[in-house]
A and B are shown apart, each in its own frame.
Chain A
Amino acid sequence: MNVIRFMVENQAQVLELTLEHLWLVGVSTFLATLIGVPLGILIAHRRQLNRPVLAGANIIQTIPSLALFGFLLPVPWLGARSDRLAILALTLYALLPIIRNTYEGIRGVDAAVLEAGRGMGMTEVQLLFQVELPLAMSVILSGIRVAAVISVGLATIAAAIGAGGLGEFIFRGLAMVDDRVILAGAIPAAILALLADFSVGWLERRLRLR
């Protein structure tokens, strides 16, 4: 109950940090989708590229997040504002699930359906937008969903480089050895993760039931 009282007393700050957190996650997931979906489409059609691209995304995924934030700190334009830097790092992490799911989703489209389309004289662009992407959509969305949920968790670490977000409470709580402060960051973050999961999942179901 102490936690709740603490959160109510500091509601302005809880709200502010939650919004900051949402901003970091939203922008980075959006950017990762913008980059990851076309990359996934590319490697689904140019097979020789799929190994290097997926390997690259995998390697990024293995870099410990704190280290990645640290590495990027001295980069000129980025280092100037820590939220830019956090968004870049979160975007890089979000790439893998989005690229992989786009790739798998498109690969999973029935070859006979594609051949029928091609045989009827559809161009590759028409096949992509009218057949491949619609049929792969639910798999692509579940990749975006995974990326968003991971980002909510990772974004708490962005506070370590001063990018704000709910991690501020968590780090402050750790320093103060005060569970209430830690939980004031952790609980809203957990709720955000569930919300991200739920909202993209809802979109996914809507599209599937069309």
Chain B
Amino acid sequence: MSAENTNPAIEFRDVAYRVGETQVLSGFNLHIARGETLVLLGRSGSGKTTTLKLINRLATPTSGEVLVNGASACESDVIRLRRGMGYVIQEVGLFPHFTVARNIGLVPKIGGWPEEKVRARVEELLQLVGLPAELASRYPHQLSGGQRQRVGVARALAADPNILLMDEPFGALDPLTRDELQREFLLLQRRLRKTVVFVTHDLREALRLGSRIALMEAGRLVTVLSPREFLTSPDPWASAYVRAFGDGLESAANRGAS
């Protein structure tokens, strides 16, 4: 392995983030390894989404720094930085006036790919996320929630980024569709081995998808644990989470960090 591969993909160094008088994030230190799925778990307002936005510089740290591939996110060209990562948010993020094909092909297109190459890539991605090719010419409002979310994932993967940022991507879906998409996410991730940072407040989802779980509370990182460790952790916040979700979690954690 070359030195570059042993560097963390993303590193938070003593990061704090404040908006006006509100301390959103403080004393935040975290390494995210290449190819892992790190889940940021926490309740609403705990700073998960902000943490994600610090990575693609939709937010800039008040102090400390965020390193992406060893370079400070603040020093590199922000547009290039963002194009090197996929970004998936709840279904609202699709452009309503673009067809599915244009939505998916957006990043390659603004990256200057030739037309045919974009089209071929769109076809490939539709297949990858399990959508029929004829959806390409539809508009987002003509799709179901699950289909829209698949388009969102395809769009994030379009330019083949190494890093994927996912902000509660399956949060607005019904349980069956969510289950299906989680399963497909695991299969996809086994193949693609992206570095994924995944935000959720759903412990079950965190246990199922994450190789490690970073638990956040009130703008602080409480602990980082593997799914198996999480279930038996003596940490009060972790055990409070486990209690709140009740029985049957063990089976969810089976995949673990296999």
Q: How far, in whole Å, are A122 and B58 apart by their CA atoms in the complex? A: 12
Contact, CB under 8 Å: A122 / B110: yes
A52 within 8 A of B: no
Q: How far, in whole Å, are A117 and B81 apart by their CA atoms in the complex? A: 14
A26 within 8 A of B: no
Contact, CB under 8 Å: A126 / B110: yes
Instruction: Check A110/B92 contact, CB under 8 A, given A115-B58, A121-B110.
Output: yes
A177 within 8 A of B: no
Q: Which of A116, A122, A123 has a CB less than 8 Å from the CB of B93?
A: A116
The A interface, classified by DSSP as helix, strand, loop or mixed, is helix
B interface, size bucket: 20 to 34
A175 within 8 A of B: no
B206 within 8 A of A: no
Count A-side interface residues using an 8 Å CB cutoff.
Answer: 18
Contact with A along B73-101 (1 / 0, CB 8 A): 00000011111101101101111110000
Q: How far, in whole Å, are A131 and B53 apart by their CA atoms in the complex? A: 21
Q: Chain B residue with minimal CB distance to A111?
A: B92
A45 within 8 A of B: no
B253 within 8 A of A: no
Contacts of B238 in A (CB 8 A): none
Instruction: Check A119/B82 contact, CB under 8 A, given A112-B89, A126-B110.
Output: yes
Q: Which of B80, B86, B107, B110 has the most CB of A within 10 A?
A: B110
Q: Which of B81, B86, B93, B97 has a CB less than 8 Å from the CB of A115?
A: B93
Q: How far, in whole Å, are A26 and B80 apart by their CA atoms in the complex? A: 44
Q: Which of B79, B90, B95 has a CB less than 8 Å from the CB of A121?
A: B79
Contacts of B94 in A (CB 8 A): 113, 116
Q: Which of B56, B95, B107 has the most CB of A within 10 A?
A: B95
Extra inter-chain contacts (9) besides given A116-B87, A120-B155, CB under 8 Å: A112-B92, A113-B96, A119-B82, A120-B82, A121-B79, A123-B79, A126-B110, A134-B97, A135-B96
A sample of 29 cross-chain residue pairs with beta-carbon separation below 8 angstroms, ordered by A number, consists of A110-B92, A112-B89, A112-B93, A113-B92, A113-B94, A115-B89, A115-B93, A116-B92, A116-B93, A116-B94, A116-B95, A118-B58, A118-B82, A119-B58, A119-B165, A120-B86, A120-B87, A120-B156, A121-B80, A121-B83, A121-B84, A121-B110, A130-B95, A131-B95, A131-B97, A134-B97, A135-B96, A135-B97, A210-B97
- Chain B residues with a Cβ under 8 A of chain A: 53, 56, 58, 79-84, 86-87, 89-90, 92-97, 106-107, 110, 155-156, 165
- Chain A residues with a Cβ under 8 A of chain B: 110, 112-113, 115-123, 126, 130-131, 134-135, 210
The 10 A-B pairs of least Cβ separation, nearest first, read A116-B93, A121-B82, A121-B83, A119-B87, A112-B92, A121-B79, A134-B97, A120-B107, A119-B56, A120-B87
